[in-house]
Chains A and B, each alone.
Chain A
Amino acid sequence: MTELEYWTQQIKKGRISRREFMGRAAALGVTTALATTMLSEVGVAAEPKRGGSAKFGLAHGATTDTGDPAAYPDTATQIPFWGAMSNSLTEVDAKGNIQPDLAQSFEPADKTATWIFTLRKGVTFHNGKDVTPDDVIASFRHHMGKDSKSAVKSVLAAIKDIKADGKDKVIFTLDGGNADFPYLTSDYHIPIMPAKADGTADWQSNVRTGPFTFVSWEPGVRAKLKRNPNYYEPGKPYFDDVEFLSITDVAARVNALTTGEVHWIMRPDLKTLNLLQRNPNITVNEVTGYGHYTFPMDVTVKPFDNVDVRTALKYAINREEIAKKVFLGHAVPGNDNPIAPSVKFASDPKPKYTYDVEKAKFYLKKAGLSSLKVDLSVADEAFNGAIDAAVLYQESAKAAGIDINIIREPNDGYFDNVWLKKPWCADYWSGRPTVDWMLSVVYAKGAAWNETHWDNPHFNDILAQARSETDEKKRATLYAEAQQLIHDDCGQIVIVFNNYVEAASKKLAHGDIAANWECDGMKIAKRWWFA
């Protein structure tokens, strides 16, 4: 591969920006005109164009789906109703940085325990009503309160009070400092919805502020939206109308793309990806997201209460082999740090865990054991390929004298009956855009989903300290230490970070692809256009 080809691949994967590519190309002596042509060939067009009806094939969708943001089940509701139809106060950009969205600016006060959001002027809902602080308060209150069924209830539990200040300011008072609070407000569960007369949020009318307005929705079949002519971002969106189709069968999804029924699909069949790539009208995009597959051990249960046993198990797994054989190379081996490399403040703790029989034996001996027999409960419900990954683990661990007994659990009710209940199982995390968020929901003391039951006082201290720290350097040091502690001591085995693999017709063009969620940060409808 020539250097130019390499950079073309990189921009295609969304790893470098258009500007960076032009710079690299110029350095290699390529004229700007030629570089632009090359870009349009890989689907990175120069100037966005208006118009066209785009159809997207989603891998989810069921008749039971609800349009209530508190209970969005999956991408079939998140992508059309949040990504295309709504805005949150803030937005994560393609580089993983937080940007203002409906809030024009936000600043902390009181050591980040108070956050003041100033709303963008002149933004209206689809029905023409202005966005006011009352709407913002109603949208947040929708997820809070005793009887809330919202998935972000626990995340927003830190909000002590929300109040309006004047016509365009909303003040959040938290129960402690949190420098990452603006990231929380970018969550897809928290679109800004109009407030009803009684102060509750009106999600039923599907009136929002986003780039597209609601046309029709058949749960589990399709959602149709059309362009919002009054959208606040100049020039956006580019499509005239968009349609999201639920195509849960992977073969049907790939066929829909190849026969031109849809322009874009998520999660194509990895086994036949090479064949799909040969199709001259289709490009495959791949980004490494925050999501990761894990084998969490309960550190309060024998034998996992011994850190040497945990370390032995960490050395006994062949992550590279699993990434290659189970995920066919569309995954990046983990290092028992649950923070994805693309997240701000992510560190790379040493030593890197690789498959090492000698070290596994050494730590086993250190724990006073010559051999070990443990049960691992898995089901493909945890993640697709969990059983295969466990079988490979079983084989690689055998060489180190560790006998892993694989218990195949039923998919049905896996997260009710196995996860958090069996001492060692398989799990999936879609990841979070900040270190604090990820660590507080899974690794901190008292976290609702502390699947390893790990309770490290030093770690808890660091995490609390870093949360309200505004000095970036100090935060980086604290977070590096926190990640090192998880890597060394926690009972978490991070097998791989999974890639978001998506395939698109060459008729579509786009800029840098965001890694925070699938589908270009779920905002594909706003960010992409017809070339």
Chain B
Amino acid sequence: MNPIVRTVLQRLGLGLITLFVVSIVIFSAVTMLPGDFATAILGQSATPETVAAFRRSVGLDHPPVARYFVWIAGVLQGNFGESFSSAGGLAGGHARTVVSLIVPRLKNTLFLAGLTASIAVPLSIGLGMLAALYRNSLFDRVVNLVTLTWISVPEFFVAYILMLFLAIKFPIFYSLANIAPDTPFLERAARSALPSMTLLLVIVAHMMRMTRAAIINLLASPYIETARLKGVSPARIIYRHALPNALAPIATVVALNLAYLVVGVVVVEVVFVYPGIGQLMVDSVSARDIPVVQACALVFAVTYIGLNLLADIVAIVTNPRLLHPR
């Protein structure tokens, strides 16, 4: 069998097992949350009977193990269930499925992640290569200093600083990024400019430094020495000879940062009022909307596992020793 296909299948299988374990962890963690959904949504004014009626209607009166199997069986059939916020009497025919809640939010998140990544990844790899090329020069130092400074401050601080200067003092961008499903693409991109810029500043340093380090590491190898003696220009050495061999570690770091863009941007979402999936999950946790929390957590797990898989494949494809094992 083709080694790539075999590895992919192996990783997929492992990924599924990981997902299964994750599902158990998620379910147990959610079950152990103090308080419950009924009192969280009905509020302080709910009487015990009201709460009991609600618990019955969403099935919270069953033991956790039974609830887990009902849930996982549904998920395997592609049915993530119905949000508690529309469960029982709250629905009245207007069932809010978990999928209908998650899909638009996930689209928004992927849009923001895509927008950020499409600038951040080329930018940081480019900067990394340049920094490696002109290592220890003034340029290298400045790039390192600036990116490390941005990564050292918390992201909400970056967000507020950008908002202060680019939305309030000089009103160039929107301070609210509350896009709607019917927002046209250009306005969507314009409204997402500040959150995207914030995320960019947060992730560039990591990827840039990794690219630089991976390339510099290779520059000491004998084959680079040969290329240099052959008279190849330094720039060509880096992009033709060093970069392909450095792709594996870079891909891993890129995958890690892309995963962060999908699962870890809730703070930026809150600051710019961006309707993404992180905000959905936080809302759902505080309201104890268990089916949505579990589904979000699964989406996040799939994102991580999927992107890591992708990074592994890139590592194999770019490394002949792994591609053609003896």
Q: Which residues of A contact B (CB under 8 A)?
A: 62-68, 70-71, 73, 146-154, 203-204, 218-222, 245-249, 251-252, 255-256, 258-259, 261-262, 410, 412-413, 415-417, 419, 448-449
Cβ-defined contact, A416 with B39, below 8 A = yes
Q: Please measure, in the bound complex, the distance between the C-alpha atom of A67 and the C-alpha atom of B176, giving whole angstroms.
A: 25
B92 with A245: CB separation less than 8 A: no
Contacts of B50 in A (CB 8 A): 148-151, 153
Is the pair A64, B39 in contact by a Cβ cutoff of 8 Å?
no
Residue in contact with B175 in the complex, picked from A67, A73, A151, A256, CB distance below 8 Å: A256
- Which residues in B have some Cβ–Cβ distance to A below 8 Å? 33-36, 39, 41-50, 53-54, 57, 83-86, 88-90, 92-94, 101, 104-105, 160, 163, 167-168, 171, 174-176, 178, 180-181, 270-273, 275, 279-280, 283-284, 286-287, 289, 292
Select B180's contact among A218, A261, A262, A449, beta carbons within 8 Å.
A218
Distance (Å) between the CB of A123 and the closest chain B CB? Answer: 24
Closest A residue to B174 by CB, please name it.
A261
Report whether B168 and A259 are in contact in the complex, using a CB–CB cutoff of 8 Å: yes
Extra inter-chain contacts (14) besides given A252-B273, A255-B175, CB under 8 Å: A63-B280, A64-B284, A65-B85, A68-B92, A70-B90, A151-B42, A151-B43, A154-B45, A247-B273, A248-B270, A251-B271, A252-B272, A255-B168, A415-B44
Which of chain A's residues have a CB closer than 8 A to the CB of B33? Answer: 412-413
B175 & A261 in contact (Cβ 8 Å cutoff): yes
Q: Could you name 16 residue pairs across A and B whose Cβ atoms are closer than 8 Å? A: A62-B283, A63-B283, A67-B94, A148-B53, A149-B50, A149-B88, A150-B50, A151-B46, A218-B104, A221-B178, A221-B275, A247-B176, A252-B175, A413-B35, A417-B34, A449-B45
**Chain B residues with Cβ under 8 A from A249's Cβ?**
270-271, 273
Q: Is the interface of A mostly helix, strand, loop or mixed?
A: loop
Can you name the residue of chain B whose Cβ is closest to the Cβ of A448? B47
Q: Does B283 lie within 8 Å of A419, measured CB to CB?
A: no
Q: What 3 A-B pairs come out closest when comparing CB atoms?
A: A413-B35, A413-B34, A62-B283
Is the Cβ of A149 less than 8 Å from the Cβ of B42? yes
Minimal Cβ-Cβ distance residue in B for A220? B283
A249→B178 CA distance, assembly (Å): 13
A146 proximity list for chain B (CB < 8 A): 49, 53
In the complex, are the beta carbons of B273 and A64 less than 8 A apart?
no
The reply to whether A416 and B35 contact each other, CB–CB distance below 8 Å, is yes
| Smallest beta-carbon distance B121→chain A, Å | 28
Query: Chain B residue with minimal CB distance to A428?
Result: B44
A410: chain B residues at CB < 8 Å are 34
Neighbouring A residues of B90 by C-beta, 8 Å: 66, 68, 70-71, 149
B218 to chain A minimum Cβ distance, whole angstroms, is: 45
On whether A412 and B35 interact (CB within 8 A), knowing A147-B53, A249-B270, the answer reads: yes
Hey, which chain A residues are within 8 Å of B101, CB to CB? 63
Assess the A255–B284 pair: CB atoms within 8 A: no
Selected contact of B44 from candidates A62, A262, A449, CB within 8 Å: A449
Contacts of B283 in A (CB 8 A): 62-64, 220
CA distance A262 to B283 in the complex (A): 23
Residue of B nearest to A427 (CB): B44
Chain A residues with CB below 8 A from B168, complex form: 255, 258-259
- A150 to B180 CA separation, bound complex (whole angstroms): 31
How many Å from the CB of B296 to the closest CB on chain A? 10
Given contacts A220-B279, A252-B272, contact A64 B287 (CB under 8 A): yes
* Contact partners of A261 in chain B: CB under 8 A: 174-176
In the complex, A222→B160 CA distance in Å? 23
Most A-side CB within 10 Å, residue of B44, B101, B174? B44
With a cutoff of 8 Å between Cβ atoms, the chain A residues found around residue B54 in the complex are 149
Residue numbers in A under 8 Å from B280 (CB-CB): 63, 220
Q: Contacts of B104 on A, CB cut-off 8 Å? A: 218
| A64→B180 CA distance, assembly (Å) | 17
Q: Taking A204-B92, A412-B35 as contacts, is the C-beta distance between A222 and B163 under 8 angstroms?
A: no
